[in-house]
Amino acid sequence: MSQSLAGKVAVVTGASKGIGAAIAEHLAADGAAVVVNYASNAKSADAVVERITAAGGKAKAVKADVSDPAQIQALFAAAKEAFGRVDILVNNAGIYEFAPLEAITVDHFDKQFRLNVLGLLLTIQEAVKHIGPEGGSIVNISSIVGPMPVAMGSVYSATKAAVDAITVSLSLELGPKKIRVNSLNPGMVETEGLHAGGIAESQFRRQIEQTTPLGRIAQPADIAKAAVFMASDASGWVTGQSLVLSGGQRQ
C-alpha cells in the first residue's frame, strides 16, 4: 500500500458519506491523518472514522457547518489540536437543488451559493492560516455541470462554475505560498444521495450510461483516487486545473 501522504494532515469537509467519505478513507489509506468533517450526521461520520482506524489509519470526526465562519475556525482549531498541522483541504461539502426558472427563489439561490461558494471561500481562507511554509494542496469538489450546465440547474450549475473560477484565481494568488489549488468535476456518481433522490434506478441514469464511453456512472472511489493524486506530491506541478471525471461523457 502506498504511503505517499505519510505525515500529512487532511481536512475533508462533508465527509460523513458519499464522495467525501470515500476521499477521507483513501487519503487515510495513503498515510494522511484525516479530519472527517460533518454538519449533522455524527453517526455516519463516526462510522467513517471507525473504518479508517480499523484499517490502521488516523482520523477524527469534527462537527462544523462550513457556511459559518466561527464553526470553520473551530474546525481547523480541532484539526491542529488533534494532529498538530494542516497540509491538505478537500472542499467537498455542498448541496444541490434543481428548479425551473419560474420556481427560483431568493432562498433557493442563497443557500446554494452560501455553502457551495461562500463556504468554500471561507474554508480556504481559514486553511491558508494553518498550512505551513512548505505549502500544501487544496482540492475543490466541483461538478461536470460547471463546464456543462444542465436544464433546471441554473443556480447549482452557477455555483460549480464559480468554484472552477475560484480555483483558477486562488491558484494564482496562493502559488507564491506553495499552495496548489485544483478542482475535480465529477459526472454522475453512485452515492447515497443518488439513491435517496430516486435517480439511481432512473431512465436518466440509463441515458447517462448510454452516452458515457466507459459505459457506467462513477463510484465514489473513482473520485477519491483522483483527489489523492491532487493532494499528493505526484501532482506537485499541477495547479489551477479543473479535471473532469465523467468516464468520457460530454453531454
Residues annotated as catalytic are 156
Do the Cβ atoms of 74 and 126 come closer than 8 Å?
Answer: no
Distance CA(87)–CA(63), nearest Å, equals 19
Q: Which of 227, 215, 225 is nearest to 188 (CA)?
A: 215
Cα–Cα distance between 197 and 206 in angstroms, integer?
15
Under 8 Å between Cβ of 166 and 244: no
The amino acid present at 42, given as its one-letter code, is: A
Going from the C-alpha of 215 to that of each of 164, 185, 191, 248, the distances in angstroms are 26, 18, 17, 9
Q: Is 176 exposed, middle or buried (0-12, 13-18, 19+ CB in 10 A)?
A: exposed
**Residue carrying the nine cell digits 451559493:** 113
From CA 87, how far away is CA 245, in angstroms rounded? 24
Asked if residue 143 lies in contact with residue 152, where contact means CB atoms within 8 angstroms, the answer is no
Sheet arrangement for strand 33-38? 58-63, 33-38, 9-12, 88-91, 136-141, 179-186, 242-245
